[in-house]
Amino acid sequence: MKIGKGISGGPGQANREGGQVQLIEILLHESLAAYGNVNTLIEREGIECHFERRGRFFGAFTPTHFEKMKKKAEMLNRVIQIDAEIIPRLEQRREIGSDFYHVGMTVGARVNCTRRSSAKGCSTSVTAPGSRSAPIQRSNG
């Protein structure tokens, strides 16, 4: 299960004006808040689900893709400070062991949980004596 793979904030979204940009920014803030809530829930309840914080690499096949990716990274960093970084071709090998792409982008905040262990961990947590449901935290973004 991958957490944090919702709205992309992609170039097509980043180029829009008016209310759509505001909506995208609100959704990005809510997505980040949801990520935080999952993290808090897993830590507070001691859910065993192989919870891992990992970055992600996105490769650009062409110079055109690079320009769009650059805009996306700028927007993600401006709106939710997600630690998006453009990786030049010459530095790709240290990230992914290849120089296949024209350029790349890394994004710092992503989480993985294995499906089987998260389901088991959550069911164990919910059925444990004294378990309670967690209040939903909304972002102020």
Write phi, then psi, for 132 (nearest 5 degrees). Answer: -140, 160
**In this structure, what token pair is assigned to residue 77?**
């960093």
> Can you tell me the distance from the alpha carbon of 69 to that of 91, in angstroms, rounded to the nearest whole number?
16
pLDDT along the chain (141 residues), means of 10: 48 58 88 87 89 83 89 91 90 89 82 51 51 50 52
Inter-CA distances, 24 with 54, 76, 81, Å: 24, 11, 15
- At CA 140, angle to CA 136 and CA 141, rounded to 5? 120
**Predicted pLDDT of residue 2:** 45
Are the C-beta atoms of residues 73 and 82 closer than 8 Å to each other?
A: no
What are the extents of the domains in the chain?
2-127
**Predicted pLDDT of residue 134:** 47
